[in-house]
């Protein structure tokens, strides 16, 4: 009976759905996290009576035919890149992107990583780095004698030096955008890598047309909606149970056939 394997594909698909939902819930407090959504496709069909085939010598054709589906498969885990809420932290080196764009981070491998998490810190040399110590590009160094640091909406970093009246510009943050943000490869640690699916990075200063602006002393929270995720979890659980009922019913039908005398 095809329903046995069809039900099994349904259970596997809903298992993956629950895994994606659980990852969303686990990262509900992760800075800059973007929730995922599972997309499903139906599997191949068996043509028991092909649609459009001739049904007689008079030229009549079969209007609908008989096609039996073979189940479901997971096609993609799509990343929803909508803006998360802005949480005020009042920390000098916490910065949030209000709009489109990713911070650029120099990875130990020499590659460039991209992130929405702006919880930056200073290295022993005064460089602006991520919590893992990765350099934020372009490299910005805060003087050790800086009395205050201001990052404006355009990403310009200004520092107040003791003994100087006017603030000093020590650099400017840049943002990167992509034609297909969902095509970025997530590698963990709030970082993404450019792929052929995402397209090449388009780099510009914050506030440029098509780019977001910078808000100092704030962080972008996860865009996970807990109520929605719990609802999706219940739906996936019920779908899993229904597919298991299909297998159970098919097994009982086969048992009935085997017990016939």
> Which segment of 27-41, 61-75, 106-120 scores lowest on mean pLDDT?
61-75
Query: Token digits for 91?
Result: 């920390």
Residue 144 has what pLDDT? Answer: 85
Considering the domain architecture, whether residues 70 and 195 belong to the same structural domain is answered as no
Considering the domain architecture, whether residues 210 and 91 belong to the same structural domain is answered as yes
Considering the domain architecture, whether residues 33 and 93 belong to the same structural domain is answered as no
**Cα–Cα separations (whole angstroms), residue 15 to 80, 234, 244:** 20, 12, 12
Q: What is the pLDDT of residues 137-184, one digit of tens each?
A: 988 999 888 888 999 999 999 998 887 778 889 999 999 999 999 899
Residue 52 has what pLDDT? Answer: 80
**What is the crossing angle of helices 226-258 and 2-26, to 10°?**
160
Of 84, 35, 10, 82, whose CA–CA distance to 229 is shortest? Answer: 35
Residue 174 burial (CB count, 10 A): 19
Considering the domain architecture, whether residues 141 and 161 belong to the same structural domain is answered as yes
Contact between 101 and 212 under an 8 Å Cβ cutoff? The reply is: yes
Number of structural domains the chain divides into? 2
Q: What is the pLDDT of residues 175-204, one digit of tens each?
A: 999 999 989 999 999 999 999 999 999 999
Looking at every residue in the chain, the average pLDDT score rounds to: 90
Q: What is the pLDDT of residues 216-231, one digit of tens each?
A: 999 999 999 999 999 9
Considering the domain architecture, whether residues 63 and 102 belong to the same structural domain is answered as no
Q: Domain of residue 68: give its range.
A: 2-81+225-258
């Amino acid at each position: 009976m095809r329903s046995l394997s069809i039900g099994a594909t349904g259970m596997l698909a809903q298992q993956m759905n629950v895994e994606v939902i659980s990852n969303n819930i686990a990262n509900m407090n992760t800075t800059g996290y973007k929730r995922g959504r599972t997309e499903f496709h139906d599997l191949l069909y068996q043509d028991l009576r092909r649609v459009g085939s001739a049904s007689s010598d008079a030229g009549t054709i079969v209007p609908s035919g008989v096609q039996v589906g073979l189940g479901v498969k997971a096609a993609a885990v799509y990343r929803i890149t909508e803006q998360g809420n802005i949480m005020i932290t009042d920390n000098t080196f916490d910065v949030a992107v209000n709009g489109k764009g990713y911070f650029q981070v120099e990875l130990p491998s020499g590659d460039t990583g991209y992130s929405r998490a702006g919880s930056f810190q200073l290295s022993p040399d005064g460089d602006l780095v991520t919590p893992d110590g990765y350099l934020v590009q372009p490299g910005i160094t805060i003087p050790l004698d800086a009395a205050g640091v201001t990052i404006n909406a355009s990403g310009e970093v200004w520092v107040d030096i003791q003994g100087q009246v006017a603030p000093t510009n020590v650099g400017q943050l840049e943002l990167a955008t992509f034609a297909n943000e969902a095509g970025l490869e997530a590698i963990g640690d709030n970082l993404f890598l450019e792929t052929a699916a995402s397209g090449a990075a388009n780099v510009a200063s914050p506030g440029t047309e098509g780019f977001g602006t910078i808000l100092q002393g704030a962080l972008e929270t996860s865009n996970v909606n807990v109520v929605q995720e719990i609802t999706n979890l219940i739906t996936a659980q019920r779908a899993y149970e229904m597919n298991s009922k299909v297998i159970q019913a098919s097994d009982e039908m086969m048992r009935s056939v085997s017990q016939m005398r």
